[in-house]
Amino acid sequence: MTIPESELPVAVFDSGVGGLTVLHECLVSLPHEDFLYLGDTARFPYGVRPADQLLSFALELSDILLERGAKLVVVACNSATAAALPALRERLAGRVAVVGVVAPESRLAAAATRNGRVGLIATPATVASGAYDRALAQASAGRAELHAVAAAELAPLIQAGGEVDERTVACVERACGPLRDADVDTVILGCTHYPLVRPLLQRTLGRGVKIVTSGEAIAAEVERELAGRGLAAPADRRGRYGFLASGDPEEFRRLGIRFLQLPIARVGHVQVARPAPSEPAGAEAA
């Protein structure tokens, strides 16, 4: 029996388990939709990799997901979005729409800021790309100024799945210090791992600072895209969700339950091309 296109899954991919914070918001906001999540844990971290390599990864992962049937692709990785979104959209034009995390977050930040000073905490690859500078300038019509901080260690500390310890506190302090000095009133969390330490970030930044996360921005964007394309699933159905990982499925499942805050019964395994030995395979961010 042919599945109606509206009941195909929304595909989501990320460098690891961080994108599950995005998936969580989507599952809560769109309980009638099916989702298929792919975590590229075999090649985590992404955050210090060169842009051409991130583009190659994004194209490969999107092909894997489209082979399994998908009506929309969500790039739930800030580094991959910054490096690959335009090329990915061009390649998949006429097949499926592609949603990334940068523009939706920037629109929320532009709407939220009161003093026009917006902070960004992100990986080195994301900051270096300038993607948020461009997106915020467009979203605010040039009225908001971005103050970006590259945090190389924070995502790997969170991905490790341990307790929030002194290393995490010190890393957050280093990232937030320049933003406090710049008197920002809004901060974009430019990595999907960061919402896991949002309470610590909020305490460090101060209660008057508005924090913008990928999850809330993407869930609304996905809903708009599906409705605009006539692909929304019937509201009276109960959606399902599934998982794939390029690394150890059981390790993904163990960490993923903490990130998703929902049950994960099974994780399938997919094979991906490994980076050449000369390329960064164990650097410091995602």
CB 10 within 8 A of CB 32: no
Q: How many angstroms separate the first and last alpha carbons of the chain? A: 40
Catalytic residue among 26, 77, 171, 176: 77
Q: Tokens representing 158? A: 């969170």
Catalytic residue among 26, 171, 176, 191: 191
Cis peptide bond N-terminal to 45, omega within 30: yes
Q: 26 an active-site residue? A: no
Q: 176 an active-site residue? A: no
Amino acid (one-letter) located at 256: G
Which of the residues are catalytic?
77, 191
